[in-house]
Amino acid sequence: MKTALIILAAGKGTRMNSDLPKVLHPIAGEPMLIHAIEAGSTLDPDHSVVVAGYGVKDVRAATLAHDPDIKIVEQEKQLGTAHAVAQARDALKGFDGMALVLYGDTPFIRSETLERMRDALSQSDVVVLGFEAVDPARYGRLVMDGQQLDRIVEFKDASDEERMITLCNSGVVACKSDLLFDLIDAVDNKNASEEYYLTDIVEIARSRGLTATAVTCDEWETVGINSRAELAKAEADFQARARAALLEDGVTLTAPETVFLARDTVIGRDSLIEPNVVFGPGVTVESGVKVRAFSHLEGCHVSRGSIVGPYARLRPGAELAEHVKIGNFVEIKNAQIAEGAKVNHLSYIGDATIGAEANIGAGTITCNYDGVMKHHTHIGAGAFIGSNTMLIAPVSIGAGALTGSGSVITSDVEPDALALSRAPQVEKPGMARKMFEMLKAKKAKQQRGS
């Protein structure tokens, strides 16, 4: 069955006390909305529709930056979850398949759970994701009759007896798309909140002789975020799970609680991550890599056997081949570093290609930016860049070439050539002693004078 995701994200999130729409607050370096979208993406959806309202401009920009194929529809007034879903109707016109409703502020639903919901939809007209709540608090309650879900009652509208139910509504709903919009048409707002409740579709479906059921998952998957405190807790929980998963996968974390991971961090077996390393989005690390303490990696790839850090920064587009060494206080951005190359100390390598076994001396800088445009630097295999070389891009250093320390390289260097561009050294015998005597005399005169 084809799949369409409808992700509700119109809420302001008043309790966040923020100008940023709630769903754009980050967990593991990415908006929680992106986590929700990605949870559904493993179902390989044909359409994804985000229902935005508060901060629609920002929500649109963040969503499209992540995936330009996602449709954004606007819900101008938040009249309830059913009304929110109804906004996706036009975007899904002609779509024949399962519509899955997710919440943008509920970032942790596992793909396996969503797959179970899709499977359950072959037996039932409406499938709701429920969970056994430790503290059911103000969640909607699932009123079951054996395997059948009879209705969902919101806490505000529930009787004392219904409030005793601990099986709660996560909010995630699966239903054939046509039927979903059909059922929503019948939803009214005659309830304690005067909202159009999506949850009402269950009772409406049952009254039409259709079937509904609940699939259940662990409570942590359904956690919604409403405040900064809940955001911090969600981050901590996410990190704890991500670290545990890496340990399970055969990665050594010397001090797991000090390593921060992104949703999509991939680290190969027998890699070692030292304390205080931060992974931003888009990092893949192959096996047998050592990432030393206090390094920051983002949007980069590190191949087998490489060593990074301590205190290294790999920015988006950094591609390290096998057995590369990136040392302390080195920043790499949008650069391919070929096998066995070394950039060991205090360097900036940006918009560059570095050949195999090249050695980049301490303090080397690729001057890639002229204030308006970025330019490329190429360094051939086996080249040796002397310490404190400034490479004024665009520039190319041939294979096996050498640049003298302190050189400012403005034009291309042939393979195997030595390029030097620094003022020649002059030496004046006895001059140092004379200068000091002069200065001391001057100081003595000043002190007498005062």
Active site members: 345
- Cα gap 352→1, rounded to integer Å: 46
Nearer to ligand UD1, 169 or 347 (CB): 169
Decide which of Ca ion, ligand UD1, none touches 75; Cβ closer than 5 to 8 Å per partner kind.
ligand UD1
Across 284-423, where does the E strand assignment appear?
A: 284-285, 290-291, 296-297, 301-302, 307-308, 312-314, 318-320, 325-328, 330-337, 342-345, 348-354, 359-360, 365-367, 377-379, 384-385, 390-392, 395-397, 402-403, 408-409, 418-419
In the complex, least distance from residue 213 CB atom to Ca ion, rounded to whole angstroms: 23
Residues 220-249 that bind Ca ion (CB under 5 A): 224
* Number of chain residues interacting with Ca ion (CB under 5 A): 1
Decide which of ligand UD1, Ca ion, none touches 11; Cβ closer than 5 to 8 Å per partner kind.
ligand UD1
Nearer to ligand UD1, 174 or 267 (CB): 174
Q: Which residue is nearest to Ca ion (CB)?
A: 224
Nearer to Ca ion, 230 or 412 (CB): 230
In the complex, least distance from residue 201 CB atom to ligand UD1, rounded to whole angstroms: 10
Q: Which two three-digit tokens encode residue 324? A: 């590369």
What are the helix (H) ranges across 309-409?
none
Nearer to Ca ion, 222 or 407 (CB): 222
- Cα gap 171→242, rounded to integer Å: 24
Nearer to ligand UD1, 184 or 320 (CB): 184
Residue 177 · residue 98 · CB < 8 Å: yes
In the complex, least distance from residue 233 CB atom to ligand UD1, rounded to whole angstroms: 15
Q: Write out the DSSP string of 217-280.
A: --GGGG----SHHHHHHHHHHHHHHHHHHHHHTT-EESSGGG-B--TT-EE-TT-EE-SS-EE-
| Cis amide leading into 310 (omega within 30) | yes
- Cα gap 450→446, rounded to integer Å: 6
Cα–Cα nearest to 42, from 94, 97, 104, 115: 115
Decide which of Ca ion, ligand UD1, none touches 203; Cβ closer than 5 to 8 Å per partner kind.
none
Nearer to ligand UD1, 142 or 413 (CB): 142
Decide which of Ca ion, ligand UD1, none touches 169; Cβ closer than 5 to 8 Å per partner kind.
ligand UD1
In the complex, least distance from residue 22 CB atom to ligand UD1, rounded to whole angstroms: 7
Contacts of 280 (CB under 8 A, 6+ apart): 29, 262, 296, 297, 298, 299
In the complex, least distance from residue 67 CB atom to Ca ion, rounded to whole angstroms: 24
Nearer to ligand UD1, 156 or 241 (CB): 156
Decide which of ligand UD1, Ca ion, none touches 107; Cβ closer than 5 to 8 Å per partner kind.
none
In the complex, least distance from residue 15 CB atom to Ca ion, rounded to whole angstroms: 10
Decide which of Ca ion, ligand UD1, none touches 103; Cβ closer than 5 to 8 Å per partner kind.
ligand UD1
Task: Please give the helix or strand (H or E) that residue 126 lies within, else none.
Answer: strand 126-132
Question: How far, in whole angstroms, is CA 266 from its chain's centroid?
Answer: 12
One-letter identity of residue 25? H
For ligand UD1, the binding residues (CB under 6 A) are: 8-11, 51, 53, 75, 78-81, 83-84, 103-105, 139-140, 152, 154, 168-171, 197-199, 224
In the complex, least distance from residue 168 CB atom to ligand UD1, rounded to whole angstroms: 6
Sign of the torsion angle spanned by Cα atoms 442, 444, 447, 448: negative
Binding footprint of Ca ion on the chain (CB under 5 A): 224
